[in-house]
Structure 1
């Protein structure tokens, strides 16, 4: 259950502080003075703009865009803060009221801090979160109710076993985790960027180091957050054992793919950019993840293949040791063809293609005399299997077809001779009957021709 909450007393305290500290005539005079300070700071910023710009030009490390942002964002609040400081010192010397000026001094200080943050961090969600946090803390300190607010938030709590969970604890955890998670992301990108720029590491080692670095950085952020809010990390020992049991039963595939991914990275059998063939998938490796390997095909499809398949199944890595790939194609020609001319035409078709390498040299081999054709095999090498293998084979075969057609070289069809040893009785009788009728017709035609010759 929630502890005793005195919300009415807390709100009454805020109202009293506002009435006692703000709604006083002397404070209205300070408000007029502060408005005058704003006007003075505005005109001074316009006058000093050029001089500050010339001063920043002497700093060679600053780019012109950064200099402009510094002047535009910081010059006015900085001058205003200086004027407030001068008034505050004067007020203390002559016993002048400083209540309103102190309030606005805290607000301007928070504004100046937020403006400074914007110079180094983009306007994203974290920037808005930090800005709101700074303004809220500044407002609480101005009203002199910061500690009372902390106590109030801590009173909104409930117990779970030996752990007391309050609204203050939850807010502290969210704030610390958000800041640490954001910093972890920045550090992670910085570390991975340094690793990726290293020329001494292979692509697979870079991927492995990046994954280890990310895991350690973000795990450290989580553990530090739990420790910062006062949670005993030894309480997670039992949870770790339960997770181990769960991994052994329900998460076997996930663990298997994770371990397989580490093995792939360690033995460097697959790395980003490799051209691989696994099952019916042919393409190049785009990304190695903790659970899968991303393979992009020539048609633009991206297959997410589990890491385990690259360990347990047969994989063809066309670029494992180098990018050289030999492409073979079979061609058959008629026995009436000039075989030496056939070789010349096939070599010519190979030499016309830019993707085919001259070293190692392409070759055309006569492989044998088949039942219906003389069989040749063409062999050539390419160094860019990522651009496709079947397409270059198709181009070569199409070019051979054109050359053969121009030189009247025939690519024969399969031929078969059938010898019938016996026929069904009905079919035999029918054929004999047909043969007898044909003989009678022939005899009748011969008799008619003899009679016609006698009459003539």
Structure 2
């Protein structure tokens, strides 16, 4: 499966280069010269610090803290690299040994690059990954086996159709994709922050633009990675047919929910913060996702409802156009009650609640005369449905109950009168016998 692997030859080249280039006594002079360059760089940093600081002060985009970090981290290795470069050019011109200087030149270059990375990357996994990669490449160049290593990694390969996959290709993909994916995440957060701060966009449009931006940014990172490593993107054209078949069978619901999510965002029927009721779920919308809508109830439960349900089922959006909501509560009283006093007591129960609005005004209406009670309906408005509707209705009804008890207003319960036209013969006989016995006992008691 793999091409010819020459691991033994690679190790022989590595050992030979170490013996011929490093383990030589004449390199001691170069080491001493490098130490002198290190000392000279230290004093030059002290001398040039103020001048560089004044030069960077002219750049308005650099704040004082950033400017000091740049000077402290980059000035010394930059001066040392320049001095090493000058010595290297002079040594080559006069045919002097440059083995040790070349090694330290590579090390200083790597050190300078790592220091520069710390200005832009926090000390996280990405920073450690890039630092390790830079030091590894530097070590290979110092040993003068960089190209041999590249050739060795490229030889570990196998063919899959017209596509040649080598270990070198995989490493390149991992490196480039890791960097681009990190940059895509940073860019995505910047774009999301800019969109969220825009006052001209509605919440639903913000969510739509954010999701589109993330999709485009990360898709571009993947395509650019494949293109950068030389992968022919036309080789993936066959995926179009496979995706089409998958969408027709296993991905129906996923695609349906995805499209439903786009429709919801486009028509603005549901947006974060809305108070909605769908089926038995009542709560406010916390998040709109590509597959579901997150609805949090008053009890703290978070329901992940598929987007398709918001398109195909009946949905009550209590805050679609505004957050004004009318709450109704039905109450019945006995027929012997003072109806005007009842109406007055109900209005009093409404006026005692903080959440109930005075504009629109609350109202108490007599709706009908029922079989067992005179029925009223309490109507009032609130502007904060996310704080609950049933709880404010409960408070009003409890207050009505207290006022009714204080004023001896009766809330009736259904009563029925039954009239029996005929009874079974056995029951008639039993009742007649019982009646006769009762009459006989009564007569005997009167005689005594």
Q: TM-score, normalised by structure 2?
A: 0.92
Unaligned ranges ≥5, structure 2: none
Does 1:27 pair with 2:10?
no
Q: Residue 320 of structure 1 corresponds to which residue in structure 2?
A: 320
Deviations along 1:206-254, whole A, 9 cap, x unmatched?
Answer: 2222222222222222222222222222222222112112211221111
Q: Residue 432 of structure 2 corresponds to which residue in structure 1?
A: 432
Deviations along 1:301-352, whole A, 9 cap, x unmatched?
Answer: 1111111111111111111111111100001112222222211211111111
State the shift of 1:383 in Å.
1.0
Q: Residue 208 of structure 1 corresponds to which residue in structure 2?
A: 208
Does 1:293 pair with 2:296?
no
Would the alpha carbon gap of residues 50 and 344 (structure 1) be closer, same or farther in structure 2, given more than 3 Å must change?
farther
Q: Residue 233 of structure 2 corresponds to which residue in structure 1?
A: 233
State the shift of 1:125 in Å.
2.1
Q: Residue 445 of structure 1 corresponds to which residue in structure 2?
A: 445
3-state SS of paired residue (1:25): coil
Q: Residue 452 of structure 1 corresponds to which residue in structure 2?
A: none
Query: Separation in 1 of the partners of 2:41 and 2:419?
Result: 113
Q: Residue 454 of structure 1 corresponds to which residue in structure 2?
A: none
State the shift of 1:413 in Å.
2.2
3-state SS of paired residue (1:299): coil
Q: Residue 134 of structure 1 corresponds to which residue in structure 2?
A: 134
Q: Residue 398 of structure 2 corresponds to which residue in structure 1?
A: 398
Q: TM-score, normalised by structure 1?
A: 0.90
State the shift of 1:384 in Å.
1.0
Deviations along 1:88-126, whole A, 9 cap, x unmatched?
Answer: 466567765432122112212211211111111212222
3-state SS of paired residue (2:237): helix
State the shift of 1:387 in Å.
0.9
Q: Residue 164 of structure 1 corresponds to which residue in structure 2?
A: 164
Higher mean C-alpha displacement, 268-277 vs 36-45: 36-45
State the shift of 1:54 in Å.
8.2
Query: Separation in 2 of the partners of 1:97 and 1:365?
Result: 105
Does 1:417 pair with 2:420?
no
State the shift of 1:379 in Å.
0.4
Would the alpha carbon gap of residues 415 and 305 (structure 1) be closer, same or farther in structure 2, given more than 3 Å must change?
same
Higher mean C-alpha displacement, 172-181 vs 67-76: 67-76
Query: Separation in 1 of the partners of 2:349 and 2:70?
Result: 66
Q: Residue 14 of structure 1 corresponds to which residue in structure 2?
A: 14
Q: Residue 274 of structure 2 corresponds to which residue in structure 1?
A: 274
Query: Separation in 1 of the partners of 2:173 and 2:326?
Result: 60
Query: Separation in 1 of the partners of 2:43 and 2:439?
Result: 129
State the shift of 1:358 in Å.
0.9
Does 1:173 pair with 2:173?
yes
Q: Residue 188 of structure 2 corresponds to which residue in structure 1?
A: 188
Query: Separation in 2 of the partners of 1:209 and 1:315?
Result: 25
Query: Separation in 2 of the partners of 1:85 and 1:226?
Result: 36
Q: Residue 244 of structure 2 corresponds to which residue in structure 1?
A: 244
Give the superposed CA RMSD.
Answer: 2.5
Query: Separation in 2 of the partners of 1:73 and 1:349?
Result: 72
Query: Separation in 1 of the partners of 2:414 and 2:60?
Result: 81
State the shift of 1:47 in Å.
8.7
Deviations along 1:385-416, whole A, 9 cap, x unmatched?
Answer: 11111111111111111121222222122211
Higher mean C-alpha displacement, 172-181 vs 88-97: 88-97
Q: Which runs of 4+ in 1 moved over 4 A?
A: 35-65, 85-96
3-state SS of paired residue (1:110): helix
Query: 1:19-418 maps to which residues of 2 (within 5 A)?
Result: 19-35=19-35, 37-38=37-38, 61-63=61-63, 65-67=65-67, 69-85=69-85, 87-88=87-88, 91=91, 97-418=97-418
3-state SS of paired residue (1:120): coil
3-state SS of paired residue (2:26): helix
